[in-house]
Structure 1
Amino acid sequence: MTLKSNQTAIVMLGASGAVGTETLQALLQEKYISRLTVLGRTPIPNINAAFVQQHKISIFDTASYQEYLQGHTAAICTLGVGEPSKVSKEEFIKIDKTAVLNFATACKKAGIQHFELLASVDISSKSKSFYLRTKGELVEELKALNFERLSVFQPSMILTPTNRYGMAQAITLKVWPLLKPFLRGGLRKYRGIPVHVLGQAMAKNIFKDAKAYEILQWDQFYTTAEKE
């Protein structure tokens, strides 16, 4: 079942990143949003929709945005370090875990019912990988907040139309799509996902009628993005 209500009010953190940009653009095309609040360190240019409000905040200080959360029904968080290998572990935790958890806690306090998170495939609080373990620990803490609905998006390689991070990403963007025929069955979740499809899925999932905790991976990205 799909929810169609013009009472849907969404607050978003992380709209300037690759996935956040696509999610925001998809949301701007929706007809059933009463209010879309975009929080960030710098305003997103060229947004003229009357239902959109933007606020400049500090992602590390909940006091800078707590008042802007009131009256929303859903939150979308695509905040994260673009190249985790380029920052210290402490900085990665500060942005990808602490800032996100603080945002989610503030959302829960404000009465927000549905929280969406951009995470990664194979995250686990028991993983030997620092990156995957940190993300997994975050999700466990988000689950403990007991949102009415918690949606965790777990992409593998996110395929962007342009190379944002140098030679390594350029090679990956060329090679990863070629692996698709070999990633079958339980390996389907490792297929690369075009960033615009992921953004569409995060936007349209808001309007699905669902409860509790859900994990969305490659197959769900496509079925949700195509759902009207």
Structure 2
Amino acid sequence: MANVALIGSTGMVGSHILTSLLSNDGVHRIDTISRRTPQAATAAPQTKLTTFVSDDTSKWGAQLSALTPTPEIFMSAFATTRANAGGFENQHKIEHGLNVELARAARDAGTKVYVLISSQGANKTSNIPYSRMKGEIEEDVKALGFERTVILRPGLISGTREESRPLEAGIRYIAGWAGKLHSSLKDGWAQEADVIGKAAVNAGLKALRGDIPDGSEKVWTIEGKSIIALANES
């Protein structure tokens, strides 16, 4: 059974990752590090969940390094927005900086598998700042040399966010409508948050067992319909 650490557990996808981890019999212990208490931790007592809550993100690396037992899997669904960060420069500093810092702390502690929730179109040479930032995060964590790195690149993430994003909400409505007509109209470009969460957990556990596709021994990238297929595996 695996010990798992997770950052981003209060976000749209991260909350579903946590729910999936809690219900998975292959997971022994879960440690979350976050700015606020995850909803799953307040809903009911969880014997295998330990939470560390601090607004001071400079403490997160030390907390991750001190976890005992050392997590075999470290998962990141951590992200912020340009608006919340106060501009793209700050968004890059927070999202890129913290993701890479925490990944390095996990690697140095002996974590074997790293799972990252990235984004469709991530590319460090992209002209689109957001896609470039996501690509830079991917490349920098791959360079850390985990035994296995798993990268999920969902398209539009369907579901309900706590914060209001009117334009995105409109596109999510279109995705939901298309999915009701036929899954093939949606699955390639939009995936439900709970599906992404389950796929991330399944991928992390499979990677830990070495049950990965040929050619993905070090880095396994999962996109579009492959995310949905992975979520449906028992």
TM-score, normalised to structure 1, is 0.87
* 2:12–2:161 Cα contact (<8 Å) kept: no
What are the residue-to-residue correspondences of 1:90-129 with 2, within 5 Å? 90-129=89-128
AA of the residue aligned to 1:168: L
> SS state of the match for residue 10, structure 1?
strand
Q: Which runs of 5+ in 1 are unaligned?
A: 1-5
Q: Give the Cα–Cα distance (whole angstroms) in 2 for the partners of residues 219 and 121 of structure 1.
A: 12
Residue 207 (structure 1) shift: 1.8
Please name the residue that 2:200 is paired with.
202
1:169 to 1:69, Cα distance in 2 relative to 1, 3 A: farther
Could you report, residue by residue, the CA deviation over 1:50-86 in whole angstroms, capped at 9, with x for unpaired residues?
11111124333423442127521001100001x3355
Letter in 2 for 1:33: V
Question: Does structure 2 retain, via aligned residues, the 8 Å contact 1:151–1:213?
Answer: yes
Which residue of 2 is the match for residue 51 of structure 1? 48
1:227 aligns with 2:221: no
Which shows bigger deviation, 209-218 or 11-20? 209-218
The alignment partner of 2:149 has SS state of: strand
The alpha-carbon deviation at position 143 of structure 1 amounts to 1.1
Deviations 1:129-154 (A, max 9, x none): 11111111111111111111111110
- Among the aligned pairs, what percent are the same residue? 19
Q: Is the CA contact 2:64–2:106 (under 8 Å) kept in the aligned structure 1?
A: no
Residues 7-34 of structure 1, C-alpha deviations (whole Å, 9 max, x = no match): x110001100010111111111111222
* 2:223 pairs with one of 198, 217, 223: 217
Task: Indicate conservation of the 8 Å contact 1:69/1:110, yes or no.
Answer: no
Q: Pairwise mapping of residues 83-162 of structure 1 onto structure 2 (< 5 A)?
A: 83-85=81-83, 87-161=86-160
Is residue 163–residue 169 contact of structure 1 (8 Å, CA) maintained in 2?
Answer: no
The 3-state SS of whatever aligns with 1:25 is helix
Deviations 1:161-195 (A, max 9, x none): 467424212311222345668997xx964x21111
For the aligned residue pairs, the C-alpha RMSD in angstroms reads: 2.4
- Closer, same or farther in 2 for the Cα pair 1:165/1:153, shift >3 Å? same
Return the alpha-carbon distance in structure 2 between the equivalents of residues 37 and 156 of structure 1. 27
Tell me if structure 2 keeps the 8 A contact 1:143–1:213: yes
Equivalent residue for 1:36? Answer: 30
Structure 1 window deviating more from structure 2 (43-52 vs 198-207): it is: 43-52
> How many Å apart are 1:203 and its aligned residue?
1.5
Counterpart selection for 2:16 from 18, 22, 37: 22
How many residue pairs get matched? 219
CA contact (8 A) 1:152 1:216 kept: yes
Counterpart residue type for residue 116 of structure 1:
V
Equivalent-residue separation in structure 2 for 1:197 and 1:15 (angstroms): 15
What does 1:162-181 correspond to in 2, within 5 Å?
A: 164-178=163-177
Gaps of 5+ in 2: none
Query: What is the letter of the counterpart of residue 193 of structure 1?
Result: Q
> What is the 5 A alignment of 1:7-18?
8-18=2-12
